Amino acid sequence: MTIDQTENSMHETHSREVVVENEQGLHARPADLVAREAQRWESRIEFVGKAQRVDGKSILDLLTLAAEAGTHLVVEATGPDASEALDAIGSLFEQKFALSEEKTRTHTNNTKQEEQISSDSAGIKAATCEGVAERNTNS
Amino acid sequence: MKFSDFVSVDAIRPCVAANSKEGVIREMTQSLVDAEKIAAGEMDSIVKAIMKREDLGSTGIGRGVAVPHTKHPSVSRLVGTVAISEQGVDFESLDGEPVQLFFLLVSPPDRPGDHLRALENISRQLRDEAFCKTLKEAGGPQEVWRLLEDADAQSIAS
């Protein structure tokens, strides 16, 4: 999914290698963090895996890499801020996306969650697909 | 990993009734209990774990799609299901759009690779807007299942 950015194509492409170092691989949360970081830069940013080249600014694209722990990827940046973008993305990988998965989980604040859990989840009145909704909730 | 490797046909809900994030998650988890893919006694713990994951950042990945998920020790293999909301549900998505299409995944904690491959399959297929559109319009569980099977067959062919 390469977007044609004529302005960026005037710039030289910079590239560097990154390694997925966290145990769980490039799953949804790190992919989200990487896409957000990539979106901060003007340059076109692409990740090159074994068999594909994807848009680094798209979480869907990054997830299609299915990059497990230990995977080496090449990041290419083309644009006026290419070198800075690569540094920022590279350090995100080096910090294992700054998330310690198990720790982050236990440290989650429960207050919001308790609130949501106590709210009634049935929401049956909103059913617009009538027969089906009824069958589902009664089963 | 294909859809048919982890989606339980009996747990597909083409017309989800809930209109809140937790409501949808609860309804989908219940559908997996009903399909005997997860134990009834684990339901609350699984819903709680999925909500906890949502607190870290919404799994609404844009385009009206969300992938609520968690790892949970009560499952020995990756189980998942699909739900569709006709009117859409606010899921605090990255793009702010209401979510109509949900893929819920519960994976064993020691199989991160399977989880990644399921996400890979879902995101690859969902890049196809026509696929998203037909899926959102599917009328019954069998139709959803057929669309998923077609997508599986195409990804093998390509």
Report chain B's C-alpha Rg in angstroms.
14
pLDDT at B99 over 90: yes
CB B78 within 8 A of CB B115: yes
Residue B36 exposed, middle or buried by CB count within 10 Å (0-12, 13-18, 19+): exposed
**Which pLDDT tens digit goes with each residue over B104-156?**
999 999 999 999 999 999 999 998 889 999 999 998 999 999 999 999 998 87
Which of A24, A64, A133 faces B123 most closely, judged by CB atoms? A64
Coil/strand/helix, residue A82: helix
For the packed helices B141-157 and B129-137, what is the interaxial angle rounded to 10 degrees?
160
Closest residue in chain A to residue B128, using alpha carbons only: A60
Please answer yes or no on whether B116 and A23 come within 8 Å at the CB atom: no
Closest residue in chain A to residue B116, using alpha carbons only: A66
Whole-model pTM?
A: 0.81
Tokens of B85: 């909301």
What's residue B155's pLDDT? 80
Contacts of B7 (CB under 8 A, 6+ apart): B80, B81, B82, B103, B145, B148
pLDDT at B57 over 60: yes
Closest residue in chain B to residue A33, using alpha carbons only: B57
CB-based contact (8 Å) between A101 and chain B? Answer: no
Please answer yes or no on whether A60 and B127 come within 8 Å at the CB atom: yes
Among B39, B33, B28, B37, smallest CA distance to B8 is for B37
Total beta-carbon pairs less than 8 A apart between chain A and chain B: 119
- Does residue B72 carry a catalytic annotation? no
Q: What ipTM was assigned to the predicted interfaces of this complex?
A: 0.85
